Amino acid sequence: MDFPVFHLDLLGNRGLIATIAILHVLINHGLAVGMMPLVAAMEWYGNKKQDPRWDRLAYKILFFCFLITTTVGALTGVGIWLSVSLVNPYSIGSLIRVFFWAWFTEWLVFITEVCLILAYTLTWKKWSARGPEWKARHIKLGFALAFFSWVTMAIIVAILGFMMDPGNWLTDHSFWTGVLNPLYIPQLAFRTPLAAAMAGIISMFLILFFTGKQDAFRLEALRAVGVWTLVFAPFVLLAGWWYYTSVPEAMKDNLAVSLATMQFAEWQNKFLQIAVVTVITILLVVQVAIARPNLLPKVALVVPFVAILWMTGHFERVREFIRKPYVIGQYMYANGLRVGDYALLQRDGVLAYATYSNPLTPAEQAGLPAGLSGEQRDALLERIQKGKDVFMDTCSRCHTGHGMNSITGHLKRMFGDRPWTPELTAGYIEGMHYAQPFMPPFPGNAQELQWLGAYLEHLQNNTAPIPGAQTAGVIVNGDAAPRTATTDIRKETAAR
């Protein structure tokens, strides 16, 4: 607990990461990894057939992708690492230790990819005008860009797989064991055709905007891109099954909640049925686009477009949730605490090792029981302060106070409006990981559990939002270890 806790009490830390990461995956898979080979293939085909209509369409699609990937795509790519570093610096720290050189390589590959997409887009017209030899070179540039786009994904997928199931790395701690984790190849095998099929569906949608209504080429282009999509579709299904069967059984127990949240967990079967119907609808629309594109209403192409974005985004949510209670399988819990440190923390308490505090604001101090003496009030506030620090260090990476996935929302669902006494909530939290397998065990000691209970009881009567970032340092292991939260270095020194 060497870093201050960053906290968003309305959206939640999970919401922040999910928003950025899902947006990035949709752009990365749909507009880069899958789209670049499709655009290069269009350029190649147009050149082979000496049909400039393919060339024009390919360039328009590329330019659209260029705008999105180099702005929103690049920002969200960096944004993922920035947000996860803020929210869970310990997991990122562990990953950097294992994957340092992989990340370094990925950075080089990413820079190459950026240079290539700049070159590919900006030289299109110039090189095309120079004659067939330069056109051939340009097409090669396109396929090189496609390759580097895929390599960036291939490296990052190793880290994603590792976070779900580190496999033998847990015993031998070597780089290559981490890279070749049990879920790496199945996940890469799934994401590769998914990206290609996704690019096909997005292209079919874009073709509506980049070709004329009466243009016969629109039908030809729809059919060609439809074939591209269908070539990859069976591989998405086959590799998806391989990926699913490679996921450890314990994670599959989280499937119901990961698919549809705790509130709708019993909707799992309905949800899966909707997913199957969606896949079939996508396939049917693409089949009609190939067989009779002239009969396909324009609006029908919106369906697969929206469906593939939703399904891919939801797949990411499931992947993120299913690995719980861990953020790195068997190694680190979602709260950022290592499994190996639990025995120590449960003996000494988490606050003994916490270097930052989050002092109660005046608004947060409201709502105390009436009729307390000054001394009783101070004592209660001290307990609540300690409880809040326990909450911030052990719960706030996933839960908010009153916002999304709020702790108060869960307590209200379970205990209703009766008083949330420390005995009630602490009793539940002590064994919650048995009732909810996706929750990590409580990492602190018995005293801290009571403090946390006091804080949760206070939250029932106080709806003030929890401030964003911790800025106050505390004295760790000082005499009698007082949790004197202060931003003033002189006060801290005096207290020491």
Taking the least distance from each CB to another protein, the nearer of 218 and 323 is 218
By CB under 8 A, tell whether 220 contacts another protein. Answer: yes
Q: Which of 97, 125, 173, 292 binds another protein (CB under 8 A)?
A: 292
Contacts of 462 (CB under 8 A, 6+ apart): 363, 364, 366, 367
Does residue 52 bind another protein (CB under 8 A)?
Answer: no
Q: Which 84-103 positions form the footprint of another protein (CB under 8 A)? A: none
Could you say which of 118, 284, 302, 469 contacts another protein (CB under 8 A)?
284
Examine residue 238 and tell whether it contacts another protein (CB under 8 A): no
Helix, coil or strand: residue 338: strand
Say how many C-beta atoms besides its own lie within 10 A of residue 272's C-beta.
14
For another protein, which is the closer residue by CB, 21 or 279? 279
Rounded Cα distance, 173 and 189, in Å: 25
Among 144, 283, 303, 344, contact with another protein (rule: CB under 8 A): 283
- Locus of tokens 């860009």: 145
- Residue 223 makes contact with another protein by CB under 8 A: yes
Q: Are 432 and 442 in contact (CB under 8 A)?
A: yes
Compute the least distance from the CB of residue 41 to another protein, in Å: 8
Let me know: does 384 contact 479? Beta carbons within 8 Å.
Answer: no
Phi, psi of 138 (to 5 degrees): -65, -40
140 is an interface residue for another protein by CB under 8 A: no
Q: What's at 260, amino acid-wise?
A: A
- In the list 4, 12, 46, 293, the residue contacting another protein (rule: CB under 8 A) is 293
Determine, following the binding rule CB under 8 A, whether residue 280 of this chain makes contact with another protein: yes
275 binds another protein (CB under 8 A): no
Return d(Cα 329, Cα 42) in angstroms, integer. Answer: 42
Closer CB to another protein, 231 or 372, in the complex: 231
Instruction: Please state whether the peptide bond connecting residue 467 to the residue before it is cis, i.e. omega within 30 degrees of 0.
Output: no
**Chain centroid to CA 2:** 24
Residue 57 or 351: which CB sits closer to another protein?
A: 57
- Binding to another protein by residue 219, rule CB under 8 A? yes
Q: Say what the alpha-carbon torsion angle 214, 217, 218, 219 is, to the nearest 10 degrees.
A: 100
By CB under 8 A, residue 436 contacts another protein: no
Token representation of residue 359: 């002092």
23 forms part of the interface with another protein (CB under 8 A): no
For 487, residues 6+ apart whose C-beta sits below 8 A from its C-beta are: 471, 472, 473
Residue 292 or 412: which CB sits closer to another protein?
A: 292
344 binds another protein (CB under 8 A): no
Q: Which residues bind another protein (CB under 8 A)?
A: 41, 45, 48, 216, 219-220, 223-224, 227, 230-231, 233-234, 273, 276-277, 280, 283-284, 287, 290-294
